[in-house]
Amino acid sequence: LVHRYFGKKIEKFSDGNKITYLDPWPKKRHEKRRLTYKSFLDTYKEILPEKGEIHFKTDNRGLFEYSLASFSQYGMVLKQVWLDLHADGLEGNVMTEYEEKFSNKGQVIYRVEAQFQ
């Protein structure tokens, strides 16, 4: 993301990119600000290794559905999808502060692992 905002070249990441609890930008006119919008996917593809992955989780169903569609339209493979991460369980899941907060309120946490082709 530094590349996009400051015009600097970023060294390639060794693994994947984790995106957690970002602003959903729910209004249509703000779509280009969503971190799963095509222009951001272009950046991730550039800085991740070949066949790199994005691990994305959120409590916002609308953003999750948008992101699934965005990944699919970009030609990414949806390797795993959780519609209720905590009910389904994920070994080794590292909970963020927001994830714990929303989960404790009974909100569903969504997660996807998507891979570039």
Mean pLDDT of the chain: 83
Residue 3's pLDDT band (boundaries 50, 70, 90)?
A: very low
Q: How many CB atoms lie within 10 A of CB 97?
A: 9
Please give the CATH number for the structural domain made up of 2-115. Answer: 3.40.50.150
Range of weakest confidence among 9-18, 58-67, 70-79: 9-18
Backbone angles phi, psi at 15, to 5 degrees: -115, -115
**96 vs 6: which has the higher pLDDT:** 96
- Note the pLDDT tens digit of each residue in 15-57: 555 655 567 778 889 899 888 999 999 999 988 889 999 989 9
Domain positions in the chain: 2-115
Catalytic (active site) residue 23: yes
Q: Residue 92: what pLDDT?
A: 84
- Residue 10, pLDDT > 50, answer no
Q: Residue 97: what pLDDT?
A: 86
- Residue 2, pLDDT > 50, answer no
* DSSP line for the chain: -HHHHH----PPPSS-EEEES-----SGGGGGGSTTSHHHHHHHHHHSPTT-EEEEEES-HHHHHHHHHHHHHTT-EEEEEESSHHHH--TT----HHHHHHHHTT---EEEEEE--
